[in-house]
Structure 1
Amino acid sequence: MILNFELQSSFKYNKLMNDYTQPSASWPAGPVPRPVSPVARATSRPAAAPLSLAQKLLLLLGALLFDWLFCLQGVGLNVFVFTVFVVAAQLVLLPKVAAVRRSGYFWLMVGGSLLSGGMMAVYGSGVAALACGASVLMLLGYVNQPHLRLGLYALLTALGSGVQAGPRVLLGLRAPRNAGDGVRRGWFYGRMLLVPLLVLGAFHLLFMAANPRYMAYFGRVMDALGEFLLWLLPEMSLVHVVFLTLGFLVTAGAVVMVPVYFYADHESRFGEFVRRQRDRVASFTVRRPNFQPNARRALDLRKEWVAAVALFALVNALLLVVNAIDINWLWFGFVPKPGFDLTQFVHEGTYVLIFSILLAMGIVLWFFRRNLNFYAPGLPWLRWGATVWVLQNAVLAVSVGLRNYYYIQHSGLAYKRIGVCFFLLLVFFGLGTVLLKIWQRRSAYSLIRMNFLAVYAALLLLAAGNWEVWIASYNLQARFRSIDIGFLLDMPGRVLPTLVARRALIDAAPNLTSEGEYGGTESISAPEAQRRLDAAVATWRSRYQAHSSWQSRTYTDWRTAQALRAQ
């Protein structure tokens, strides 16, 4: 688009030059401007704006802080500290961008970043790390383009800006003014070699992954280089150099904003509501001579309406039968028969029903995407048919939830069961937005925006839960005939106090299982389960004592150490 604009500008400029060269035109005084090539205009880039004093200080502080927090450390409290630094840096630089202060999405991401970062300090879980990373990236995306509303576009904008920020800062560096010609020439060629070095690094990583002997040789070279640097600079090692460089790149992506307009321009094409399009209607007819366009459009809409009403009527009838069977079978007094494979029943039925619900939502979006929203003669029938179908899909989602509930009642909690519960919550929210589309003529963009926010809210809720401890507490009940002790021992160390406190229940369990060496499950004895529990406790204690620094500690790690010491 920019190239076309420049070509048009160049064409107008050349036309103006030709007009001035005519004998009747009077040429203005002064030298004749030299025409610029369209390719040169399209490929030329404006010089990067110089960094402010605050940005330079934040770059230095961020690189040093990143190395101090993460060098040879795990994740925990350090993630929260660095997240607070990134948020504070945005607030320090915020007065320069007045539009950001008026963006509710920016303040939402500020709260989400601090909440998820705080959950990293409390639990240090993987879902909390995912929520924190997504929150910080979307925060940076809304700072880059304050008018964005779709969280996914903010995420992609932040990634696009972050990739360019580090090289942009390095390429913008200048040699000292009082340096000689040799220093300036070396500085220039050093910056020119930056891109080839990045390409060389990418190929180096590929060769390391493909050739183990090459990786071994490279490890020897790195060990020798590390010893040399340790001899040259006793306080500096190669690991610190790597983390300082990585910290500089990460901080540059958070402090230096490279404008990325692609996603903001793309989002500007969409609206919250469907608009009537007179030139874009679906056609199911063959053109006949002497046929009026308006009559053809009305006939096309009527045929599309007939197809939609027929489809909704048929699938409503079919879904009514399925829901009647599920209500009669699952909703009231469901008791699995002896030998009934509840796992297979839940897995197959859940996946098929979830796919059916998503397909139903897609069909509704398809028929209500264009001018059928404005077909007055049959719109009430279409809306009510689609509404009944959406409500029946909500009933189907309740049946899926009951299948999941029966599995939890008979087999215990697991990560997938919790995931299905949150997915069903998102399904109910999505069905509600589909009703908004039907009755308020909402656009697909509006539904994507609202459902993305719902997914983000569900991610924050998952990050705020101590799910492993809750799973262990629920599964270690006397009413369960089988306990997957291997699954519980593979969880993070914060579940160990719960397992130690219920040793007697583990000994009394009728059946203890664990994952086999080559897949599947195997039964283990109670003494073997106790031996594995003791080994897990000893391993966790040694690891906790070996990593005595506070950077990677969490609140639950401290509580676990206190509980194990007391038991």
Structure 2
Amino acid sequence: MEPSQTWPTGLPAARAAAASVQPTVTPLTSAQRLLLLLGVGLFDWLFWLERSGVNMLVFISFGVAAQFVLLPRHAAVRRSGYFWLAVVGSLFSAVMMAVYGSAVAALACIASTLMLLGYVNQPHLKLALYAVLTAAGSLAQASARVMRGLRAPRQAGVGVRRSWFYGRLFLVPVGILGAFHVLFAVANPVYAALSSRVLAALSRWLGRLLPEISLGHLLFFTLGFVITAGIVVVVPVHLFADQESRFGEFIQRQRDRVASFAVRRPDFRLKASRALDLRKEFIVAAAVFGLVNLLLLVVNAIDINWLWFGFVPKPGLDLTQFVHEGTYVLIFSILLAMGIVLWFFRRNLNFYQPGLSWLRWGATVWVLQNAVLAVSVGLRNYYYILHCGLAYKRIGVCFFLLLTIFGLGTVLLKIWQRRSAYSLVRLNSLAVYGVLLLLAAGNWEVWIARYNLQPRFRSIDIGFLLDMPGRVLPVLLAHRDLLNTAPQLTAEARYYGGYTVITAAEAQRRLDAAVADWKAYYQDHPDWQSRTYANWQTFHQLGGQD
């Protein structure tokens, strides 16, 4: 279904004028009705009382296939590289969900699907964030659009048609009532307990009336309808596409504006004042780049001499504090530096010929020095991993630094090619999406466990490893002898940030209990919907038989 065939495609003013007229609700096509019924039934069958796994691959494949069924053969979106990126990303993340079932793969699935729906809604979009917001706006309206398009059967009596009319009319108040109920239940524990008893009684009454259907199942079925309607029905959302249409890839010289440090003068002196104001801004920028380059040179010289070659932690050095505090502060300084460069190169200073070359080289040296600083941050993170082991945050810092290096590279493009901030956001959003897909493809928990279970570490956080998904258990069993020889075994304590030391016997008991519980859960839930390849492989490695 081509969105441009439903709404005007002219200027935003024309769209606003068209929106002032009450639009006619377009009835669903036969393909939309069939896909809607199929999708709701599929969602309920795949996800009710199931975890995410293979079911995500099946449902996302359905959503991707639905777009190709509904899109005209010569739709503009079929020629968009962003659309095909979202298609590939959706299927790839869904496959990773069927393989590992990790939380980051689930996040990649959701983000990719929303991007896909956003690009279908507005084929000319480029920003990934705008595509996600466009899809969210369409998703919020699609189910209401479907309900407005439904009609009571023609052969039904007047009473049935009247009941149908008022039933649809009260959907909005009931939805608002549900939203406020959730807010009050979170804020007031007495109300939450009372409402829970009322809902439990209502659920028991529905259970007697309809033995196969519960209140929770009805709500879940409604959720499936809302999600499937958002996939099948495109409600055009032009807000973000109109905003993006105002942005350009490169900065244009603004002759009708003064610089940010400008003071308004009489008209006959306006031209001279603009040049003077631009010169003032150049002097400030040159001073900033010159001073911070000297300061950063000192910091980088210290880090290179201290961290880059032959770093050995001193006996009294708290490596955890050293890494955590230093890493976060340095990352913030890099982001601040990027923001300052974007600020000075946002307007006409890009065209100030008397000092443009000096300004560009000063900013370039600053960007390169920040890249050196990013390497120093990476070395801090590396030393922590080397001496203390792997953790989720350490992996996150590694990928964040990769994005930072990429972002610094795009800042150089802005400096030398007069790229706009929109261009940088577009490029960096694609980089973030690529990193998200890369994270979805990793079996990170297993790799963390294998790395941390090395004899050279004097302390093993067995509590942290046992809290990981079940696919880590074969690795723990393969290294269980290490639990008897490790100098120290720890587990998370009850208070935040603390830990307790446990004995080897307690660690072995916890490991055996975790294996038994996981195998029992796997055997008690034989449905294929929530299975993953990693869990199937783990079950067989633990000696289970299907």
Provide TM-score, normalisation by structure 1: 0.90
Distance 1:529 1:180 in 2: 71
5 Å matches for 1:67-466? 67-95=44-72, 98-282=75-259, 284=261, 286=263, 292-466=269-443
Equivalent position of 1:12 in the other structure: none
Three-state SS of the structure 1 residue aligned to 2:501 is strand
Contact kept? 1:71, 1:239, Cα under 8 Å: no
Distance 1:224 1:187 in 2: 27
Aligned mates of 1:299, 1:394 — CA distance in 2: 34
1:549 to 520, 527, 532: 527
| Alpha-carbon contact 2:128-2:430 (below 8 Å) kept | yes
2:72 aligned counterpart, secondary structure: helix
Matched letter for residue 349 of structure 2: L
**1:514 aligns to what SS in structure 2?**
strand
In structure 1, the partner of 2:34 is: 57
CA pair 301-525 structure 1, distance change in 2 beyond 3 A: same
Residue 516 of structure 1: how far off its partner (Å): 1.1
Mapped pair 1:494 → 2:471:
yes
Report the CA distance shift for 1:42/1:114 in structure 2 as closer, same or farther (over 3 A): closer
Q: Which residue of 2 aligns with 1:16?
A: none
Task: Indicate the SS of the match to 2:323.
Answer: helix
* Other structure's SS at 1:483 match: strand
Give the deviation of 1:286 after TM superposition. Answer: 4.6
Greater shift after overlay, 541-550 or 125-134? Answer: 541-550
Q: 1:428 to 1:167 in 2, by over 3 A?
A: same
Instruction: After superposing the two structures, state which structure 1 stretch, 275-284 or 356-365, moved more.
Output: 275-284
Tell me, in whole angstroms, the C-alpha distance in 2 between the residues paired with 1:239 and 1:352. Answer: 47
Residues 202 and 69 (structure 1), Cα distance of their counterparts in 2 relative to 1, 3 Å cut? same
The 5 A counterparts of 1:30-69 are: 44-69=21-46
The 3-state SS of whatever aligns with 1:292 is helix
DSSP 3-state at the match of 2:542: helix
Following superposition, the deviation at residue 186 of structure 1 comes to 2.0
Going from structure 1 to structure 2, the CA distance change for 1:188 and 1:417 (only over 3 Å counts) comes to same
**Is the 8 Å Cα contact of residues 225 and 238 (structure 1) preserved in structure 2?**
yes
Unaligned segments of structure 2, at least 5 residues: 1-9
The alpha-carbon deviation at position 236 of structure 1 amounts to 3.8
Q: Which amino acid aligns with 2:521?
A: R
Greater CA drift, 75-84 or 277-286: 277-286
Deviations 1:446-469 (A, max 9, x none): 000000000000011111100000
Q: Work out the CA distance in 2 between the residues paired with 1:216 and 1:311.
A: 59
> Aligned partners of 1:220, 1:233: CA distance in 2, in Å?
19
Q: TM-score, normalised by structure 2?
A: 0.94
Partner of residue 529, structure 1 = 507
Q: Which amino acid aligns with 1:187?
A: W
Q: Give CA deviations for 1:16-72 in whole Å, capped at 9, x if unaligned.
A: xxxxxxxxxxxxxxxxxxxxxxxxx97542112111000000000001001101111
Deviation per CA, 1:392-445, whole angstroms, max 9, x where unpaired?
000000000000000000000000000000000000000000000000000000
Q: CA RMSD in A?
A: 2.1
Give the superposition deviation at 1:210.
3.5
Counterpart CA distance in 1 for 2:480 and 2:159 is 74
Q: 1:163 to 1:286 in 2, by over 3 A?
A: closer
Which deviations, in whole Å up to 9, do the C-alpha atoms of 1:220-241 show, x marking residues without a partner?
A: 4444444444444444444433
Distance in 2, Cα, partners of 1:548 & 1:317: 65
**How many angstroms apart in 2 are the aligned matches of 1:479 and 1:199?**
58
Larger Rg: 1
Moved more, 542-551 or 170-179: 170-179
- Deviation of 1:292 (Å): 2.5
Counterpart position of 2:537: 559
Q: Structure 2 CA distance, aligned partners of 1:284 and 1:208? A: 52
Residue 247 of structure 1 deviates from its aligned partner by 1.1
CA distance in 2, matches of 1:225, 1:434: 59
Partner of 1:479: 456
Q: 1:183 Cα deviation (Å)?
A: 2.2
Residue 218 of structure 1 deviates from its aligned partner by 4.0
Identity of aligned residues (%): 73
Question: Match for residue 518 of structure 1?
Answer: 495
Give the SS at the match of 1:512: strand
Which of structure 1's runs of 4+ aligned residues deviate more than 6 A? none
